[in-house]
Amino acid sequence: MKYRSIAAPLLLPLITFGIYALVCSVKTKNEMNKSGTAIPTAWLLIIPIANIIWLWKYSVGVPGGESDATQPSG
């Protein structure tokens, strides 16, 4: 996965009224899907009950979406 700055996810959602949080979620979803996870389409984020299911699939896919390069050595 791509390394991102710490300040961007903390400050930009406040400035962009939450739009950056959605964009960041979609970008990381696409990166994780390229690694072999099965996270559904991001359109589910804007549907009230479906967004809970999407977040569950996203959180389950995080350990599988990390490549060996991001794992700590040791």
Helix axes 50-65, 19-34, angle to 10 degrees: 50
pLDDT in tens, 13-70: 888 888 888 888 888 888 888 888 888 888 988 888 998 988 898 888 877 655 555 5
DSSP tally for the chain: helices H, then strands E = 3, 0
Exposure on the CB side of residue 35, measured as CA atoms within 13 A: 20
The backbone torsions φ and ψ at residue 69, rounded to the nearest 5 degrees and listed phi first, read: -70, -25
Strands (E), 1-74: none
pTM score, whole prediction:
0.67
